[in-house]
Structure 1
Amino acid sequence: MNFGTTKVLRVRLATWNVNSLNARMPRVQEWLELADPDVLCMQETKMADEAFPGLAFEAMGYEWAHHGQGRWNGVAILSRVGLADPGNGFADGREDDPDARIVWATCGGVRVASAYIPNGRELGHDHYHYKIDWLGRLRAHLEANADAGGPVVVAGDFNVAPADNDVWDIAAFEGLTHVSDPERDAFGAVAEWGLVDVFRQRWPQDGLYTFWDYQAGRFHKRQGMRIDMVMASEPLAHRVTTALMDRNARKGEKPSDHAPVVVDFDWGEAARDG
């Protein structure tokens, strides 16, 4: 891949909540070899920075940035198209986020975030209010850094189903998190900054999910939720050539309860135009 010519840089970006990298490392390595992404955003690594297996990923050709806190949360970016200016949290003038939920890096001229939005737990819970506020802080961070220009991707587990067809049965979620109006409004405010849900842009139909609870045989019953997303700014969103959800990665022995979302971009053109 040549950054110094007029050739289009084609980049495959994926996002995957791995639900413990320590437990899932062999599966992640196998999937990297199979899917061949140039950039991978991971969530719920559930490990401290000093435990992150960076050398193993470097041996596979990836640079990396990780923001972790031991047994909980944790986010990472792997890149083989360059990784510059890594950072974490929000530049919104407020106190640091107590959780390791977002990491940033510039990959091939595009500012990329791997984000793990709070779950919310239940309506009215303190964690629910933290979730709404967290999404507001993400919007504020994007606004604060708008002057930097250039294309942006925010990818990760948003813990929000933006529309009714993003869950298997909206009636089953009455009174629960992930589908409430305040959560959807907060997600919508992030999108309205100028981010496009590029998978849904290409695939509007029902029955396409990225998460299936381990309990009650949800995966085999196709009772899932679409809460993992790749959100891209203009003009990058219109340079998507392929977008898919790798349901096969949810199968097999000891899988994550999430499936990867994979998007192919004509990345270099967007980086120059941005």
Structure 2
Amino acid sequence: MKLATYNVNGINGRLSVLLRWLGDARPDVVCLQELKAPGDKFPERAIRDAGYDAVWHGQSRWNGVAILARDAEPIETRRGLPGDPTDEQSRYIEAAVNGVLVGGLYAPNGNPAPGPKFDYKLRWFERLTRHAAELMAADIPAALIGDFNVIPTDFDVYKPERWRDDALFRPEARDAFGTLVAQGWTDAVRTLHPDEPMYSFWDYFRNAWGRDAGLRIDHALLSPAIVARLKAAGVDRDVRGYDKASDHAPVWVELAAEGSNARKPRSGTE
């Protein structure tokens, strides 16, 4: 079972890029972020023609998340995080797919920091962490996948000194991510690639892609009930080089079949 996350940075404007990648990579489950489209503008027909059913939570011009499933129906279980009924931003969707509960998320950027946007980012992470604790307590196969908008460590950014004051790298944001992972979630990509940067984002400016001046902000966290099935993980870097591509590249995780143990990784980000 191959799970993936991809911040498409506008699903309709970059639909051809998404469909090309889906056809080449053939992931079983995909979490998308930054749809930048209201619900009625989601390209459902094109996605279905590509072999995927979908659930989505759109928003005009900003945000928006979706979960796609190949040759399967994603059963939506949650739309939005609990804890703040006034929050109307489309940043979380959850669905059961082939025995795995998948939480697709798009965390707030938080810039400029400090400020109201950064405060919202931290409150949003608190809500995510509380909900994740409930998933952990349920002891079910679960994955939290998406654009977390957090650079976890110095190793996850090309020049750490340039990002110290950015909301993605401030100590408060890194601590929030660390608190979440410390519940027992496994950072799949870093677990299998401890010595490689594994960037997932390259800015459009200053030739960041050409210089490989990247960040690792898209993550796949696995619960203890599923982590023994972890088989492979990576970043489809070449997609960032497509014409009119998103500034993100897809991140993916491959799980062995249910009932088999692909490996015995240690939990956390080791």
**TM-score when scaled to structure 1?**
0.90
1:134 and 2:120 matched: no
Unaligned runs of 5+ in 2: 261-270
Give 1:48's aligned amino acid. P
Equivalence for 1:231: 221
Pair 1:86–1:64, CA change in 2 (3 A): farther
RMSD, aligned CA: 1.6
CA distance in 1, matches of 2:92, 2:140: 19
Structure 1: runs of 5+ lacking an equivalent: 1-10
The correspondence for 1:125, drawn from 115, 132, 139, is 115
Structure 1 residue 172: deviation in Å?
1.3
Distance 2:210 2:62 in 1: 28
Which whole-Å CA distance do the structure 1 matches of 2:96 and 2:204 have between them? Answer: 34
Relative distance call for 1:82 and 1:129 in structure 2 (3 A) is: same
Match of 1:100 in 2: 90
Residues 69-115 of structure 1: per-residue CA shift (max 9 Å, x gap):
111000000012431134211234x3242200011000111110110
Runs of 4+ with deviation above 6 angstroms: none
2:35 is the alignment partner of 1:53: no
Aligned residues: 260
Alignment of 1:239-250 (within 5 A): 239-250=229-240
The Cα of 1:180 is off from its aligned counterpart by 1.2
Give distance in 1, aligned partners of 2:189 and 2:158: 17
* Aligned partner of 1:116 among 78, 87, 106: 106
In the TM superposition, what are the counterparts of 1:106-255 in structure 2 within 5 Å?
106-255=96-245
Pick which of 21-30 and 135-144 moved more.
135-144
- AA aligned opposite 1:253: D
| Residue 16 (str. 1) matches residue 6 (str. 2) | yes
Contact 2:229 2:258 in 1 (8 A): no
Task: Give the partner amino acid of 2:231.
Answer: T
Please state how far the C-alpha of 1:161 moved relative to its aligned partner: 0.5
Distance 1:253 1:183 in 2: 32
SS at 1:186's partner residue? helix
Cα distance in 2 between the residues matched to 1:129 and 1:175: 14
Mark the CA change 1:96 to 1:239 in structure 2 (over 3 Å): closer, same or farther.
Answer: farther
Residues 1:101 and 1:129: Cα distance change in structure 2 (over 3 Å): same
8 Å Cα contact 1:89/1:96 also seen in 2: no
